Amino acid sequence: MNYLVYEVIGIFAYNIVVALIYGIDKLCAKRGAWRISERALLLFAFLLGGVGSCLGMIWFNHKTAKPKFRFLVPIALILNLVLYFLFFWESTK
């Protein structure tokens, strides 16, 4: 099997994990438990987890009222999509 398939599966799985991390943080917020830092959540978004961050924000309605997240997560998503496109386009040459 082509290595590209494994990379796509890895990126997909990573983004699902990032979305679940947003859900875990939301659950911790409701319970008043230890939280994942905003810096870490944004770092996940910029480290190829922009899709998962957006999905996590939407699925769990988490951090949607924070202007920092409403601005930075879509930027991370756009940058991630550009990187995905460049990577996959280069891989098909």
pTM of the full structure = 0.91
Q: Which two tokens stand for residue 41?
A: 């959540």
Spans of all domains in the chain: 3-91
pLDDT band at residue 91 under the 50/70/90 scheme: confident
How does pLDDT run across 18-77, given as a tens digit for each residue? 999 999 999 999 999 999 999 999 999 999 999 999 999 999 999 999 999 999 999 999
Q: How far apart are alpha carbons 42 and 61 in whole angstroms?
A: 16
What value, to the nearest 5°, has the Cα angle with vertex 62 and ends 26 and 32? 30
